[in-house]
Amino acid sequence: MKRIISILALLTLMSLCACGQWYLFPLGKGKSPKDTATLMKMKPEAKKDTVLMNPNPTTDAGETAGGVGNEEMEDNEDFFVLDIPDVVNISMILPINASGKANANFLAMYTGGLLAARDLGSNGMKIDFNIYDAADPSAPMSHDMIDESDVIIGPVSTEDLQKALSLSHTGKRIISPLEPKAASLTDSCRVIQAPTAWCDQIDDLFKWIEEESVIGDEVIVVRDTVLTGQGEQYNYMISKLEESGIRFKTVYSASSAVPSVIGNTRFLIASDRDAFISASARQIGAFSIKRKKGNTYLYITSRMRNAKGLDPQQLYRSNARVTMSYFIDYSDESVKNFILAYRALFKDEPASFAFQGYDTVNYFTRMCAKYGRQWYMKLSEAPEFKGLQSNYSFKETEMAGQVNRAVKRIVYRPDMSADVQ
């Protein structure tokens, strides 16, 4: 059964809430929905509504909740205006009922997107926002559904993305909102990959080392011999490191490393094994405490930060520098505003999926409203957009697709504080 749920109807469902799923977003778990049944019992013939608020748009779209990205979307002389729609038609295609009951994660993503649409509409943007259940076999995706949409967020799985592409013409782009493996479709298909890949996190680590290093510093790579030639991220890191031109020393245990006499010591861990990562981080933390001159820095990705058995205190002790695709800075005013607005509307705490839904709808809707129905032609030229949880900065692939390259840099300090650079 086709689920077309209007934005105005959902704004009345004050008890709706959501929770994030740990395996996709390990930044924090939400709570279980209190009333998902209300959402799923809505009639399939529910009318699609258009949000028509404030015919004179302001420049502060998003102020009600997150209020993010305003400065990144300012006029740029290099841009030219395309076919600007009077009403931005957004379709979000998610597997709401994939397991036979309402999926809390995708409901969270939907409610986050709904709040973004409300904020943009409250500041003058005209939006037609629709949600479709990709898991409903009785009403599969149709050509008309995709053809009528200006911004198409989802489906999630690679298989469903391929189906959506087969139904769309060459002038449409499908936004992959979650699945990292869908990045493989961007080289030959009209897919825009919203999540940042782990390889971009590694690339940014090397840039970060080069930016921070000074004369006398030493780079030490703690190399795992167990998975030599087997670990995907291990192989990529070693290959890219050798190409980078960074001078480094290799050790097979951080405990055997000797501090630089005159400078700082900067560590990289080359491994795909949680046990090796956590043990190395512990040794580097001890190394940092014992040294008498210079500082110790550990450069890792979000994959390593979330390794099983890793003691978070070691990140602070070793002045860790972490590159991440997703990070929520709860001290940021925009994040605080979003949380307050979400609580007021849905009577629950927003989980990571809700932040992701907000960022995705907020960014791509802004792009369409500013640059027209062929907004995707301007993605690679647009300045980086800073969201609540994700940043966006796109690069075209060899074919028609585009991939998000934006990475967040998180700094851990010995005083037990952490901030975003």
Tokens standing for 414? 């010995």
Name the pLDDT band for 168 (thresholds 50, 70, 90). Answer: confident
| Least confident residue range of 138-152, 357-371, 379-393 | 138-152
Identify residue 179 by its one-letter amino acid code.
E
The dihedrals phi and psi of 398, each to the nearest 5 degrees, come to: -65, -25
CA 180/CA 194 separation, integer angstroms: 9
Q: pLDDT at position 265, please?
A: 92
Instruction: Say yes or no to pLDDT of 76 above 70.
Output: no
CA 311/CA 27 separation, integer angstroms: 15
Mean pLDDT of the chain: 79
Q: pLDDT at position 92, please?
A: 93
Which of the pair, 2 or 380, is modelled with greater confidence? 380
Half-sphere exposure of 162 (CA within 13 A, CB side): 9
| 254-281 per-position pLDDT tens digit | 888 887 767 899 999 999 899 999 999 9
Name the pLDDT band for 231 (thresholds 50, 70, 90). Answer: confident
Q: pLDDT at position 209, please?
A: 94
> Model-level pTM?
0.80
Which ranges in 155-257 belong to alpha helices (H)? Answer: 158-167, 198-212, 232-244
Name the pLDDT band for 57 (thresholds 50, 70, 90). Answer: very low
Q: How far is CA 16 from CA 157, 305, 358, 405, in A?
A: 25, 32, 16, 33
Q: pLDDT at position 54, please?
A: 38
Name the pLDDT band for 102 (thresholds 50, 70, 90). Answer: confident
CA 111/CA 94 separation, integer angstroms: 12
